[in-house]
Structure formats: C-alpha cells, structure tokens
Amino acid sequence: MATIKDVARLAGVSVATVSRVIHQSPQTRPETVETVRQAMRKLGYRPNAAARTLVNKKSKAIGVVVADVSDPFFGGLVKHVDNVAFLSGQQLLIGNGYHDAEREKQAIELLIENQVGAFIIHSKALDDTTLKLFAEDYPAMVFINRCIKGLESRCIFLDNYRGAYLATEHLISQGHREIGCISSNHKIEDSWQRTRGYLDALAASG
C-alpha cells in the first residue's frame, strides 16, 4: 500500500508539500498540485480520514527533533520537555537530525507521518525556506536555538555572538590576558558566532 512518503518521492516534493495538496492549501502552486495528484493517481494513494483531518486533529504526542539525543545537552533538554509533557498527559516522539539536512528533514517528516500534535525542532542544517514550509502547515511547531526571519515569535534562541563577547570581556576585566576558546567542530552558526564574539572582544581590548 502506497504511503504519503511514496507520493512525495515520486512527485519529487516533500511530505509537507503532499500534505498541503491533500488539505487544499492555497499556498501551493497549481503545477505542484497537479504533479502531486498525478503521483497519487499512479500509486493509487488514498489519504485516510486521519490524514485528512491531520491539521485540526489534537494528538497526545509531541514530536521533538534534536541533533543527537545521546549528547548531554540534548539529553537534558528532552528530559525537561518530557517532564512538562507528562504533566499535560502528552507523550514524546523523538528524532535525531545529526546536523545533516536530509536526516533533519526525514526526522520531521516521520513525525508528521505519525500524526503528532505539536513539534519542537532543533535544526541547524535545513534552510529557512524548508522550515517555513513546514511551519506554514503546522502552527504548533516551534524552533529552538535558531532565529528564522518571519517566524521570530516561534523561535527560542540565544545571541551566541553577544554571549561569547561578554564572557571574554569579563575574563579580560579580571586581568586575564591568555584566554583560550574551545568551540564546536560542527559546521553550524553557533560555532562561528561564538568564536567571532571571542575574537572581537579580544580585539576591542587590544
């Protein structure tokens, strides 16, 4: 039996796009709608009642995507999310993105397929446009450790540059002159933002 992922693969679009076509979203281009519908017909795909009501359905599950749940930072984050969810009678479904665009996208789409009611997304590799498309279809989706232009009210993030600058500035004010900076080897904005804040603070103090 064909799945929504099969339709997306054949049509060359994302699962979120197929979902928009199913729910007749006005934000979907006519040519995209036709491509998806052709794929659905070819595969004999028929969205079930649950899929048709997915946008309005209240699920007892919250989907969480993090870089790596075995990382102490993300493990602690997921634990606290779980504690809050438990108090509201919610369960968690967790996906790992590993700072890889394709893995992050697959993790989000898998949560969509499992019809979770809300999403907490940590994504560093996917581009803003892709994340905005997901957010358009799922109002109960928030993003952590990232600021996406146009979605600021749904983003929880830190000023990495300013934080590193202030930390370095504090050490300088304590009389330290040989100050090291240990950063991440992941190719993510957090790393270069913090390093730049550190270097700029050193430069500002000579």
Nearest to 22 by CA among 111, 133, 115, 137: 137
* 68 and 118 assigned to the same domain: yes
* 68 and 96 assigned to the same domain: yes
* 67 and 141 assigned to the same domain: yes
* 87 and 48 assigned to the same domain: no
CATH number, domain of 144, equals: 3.40.50.2300
Alpha carbons 131 and 167: distance in angstroms, whole number: 31
Q: Could you tell me if 124 and 99 are in contact, meaning their C-beta atoms sit under 8 angstroms apart?
A: yes
DSSP code of residue 52: H
* 151 and 165 assigned to the same domain: no
CA angle in degrees (0–180, nearest 5) for 84-88-93: 70
* 90 and 66 assigned to the same domain: yes
Q: Could you tell me if 112 and 16 are in contact, meaning their C-beta atoms sit under 8 angstroms apart?
A: yes
Q: Report yes or no on whether pTM surpasses 0.75.
A: no
Backbone angles phi, psi at 49, to 5 degrees: -60, -40
| Chain centre distance of CA 93 | 14
Number of domain units in the chain = 3
* 74 and 145 assigned to the same domain: yes
- Which domain covers residue 195, as residue numbers? 160-204
Per-residue pLDDT of the chain (206 residues; tens, 9 = 90+): 788 889 999 999 988 888 888 877 777 888 898 999 999 889 988 776 445 444 445 567 999 999 999 999 999 999 999 999 998 888 999 999 999 999 999 999 999 888 888 999 999 999 999 999 899 888 999 999 999 999 999 999 999 999 999 999 999 999 999 999 998 888 888 999 999 999 999 999 99
